[in-house]
Amino acid sequence: MASIIPENYSYLKPYSGEINRKQFWENVVAQINKDTGSENAVHVKLEDLQGEEAAEAIVTHLQKQLPAFTPRLSEILYRIDIDEENTKRLKNLPDDLYFRILAEMILKRVVMKVLTKGFLSDNTRL
């Protein structure tokens, strides 16, 4: 996975058709909650949010929740499919920055999962 630059959601731009739909972000939130094994890992109101605004809301909430997952964080990251090498580079960061970047890594990976699932399900209907 490419490096994460905090508060940079430029990777979303090629998917503007998807990221501007409320349903897309609801699927992202549902996937994060499923992967963390918690119904409340992310519970943000997405009614009026889309694009980078929705991404930021999810990251901000997830950043606050991640410390509670610390005992089983490696298991969650494995389930989400975030490479251990990527997280090792974050170990010496201050906690707030560590959890911020980790939340962004999680969001980026889950966005890709949801996009892939959507693409595959669209192509199986053809």
Q: How far is CA 104 from CA 41, 52, 79, in A?
A: 14, 12, 16
Cα dihedral 6→45→95→109 (10° resolution):
-50
Q: Which two tokens stand for residue 92?
A: 């010496």
126 residues of the chain, pLDDT tens digit each: 456 678 889 999 999 999 999 999 999 999 999 999 988 888 888 887 888 999 999 999 999 999 999 889 999 999 999 988 888 889 899 999 999 999 999 999 999 999 998 888 776 654
Q: Is the CA virtual torsion 70, 74, 79, 80 positive or negative?
A: positive
pTM: 0.88
DSSP conformation letters of 12-50: GGGGHHHHTSHHHHHHHHHHHHHHHT-TTS-----TT--
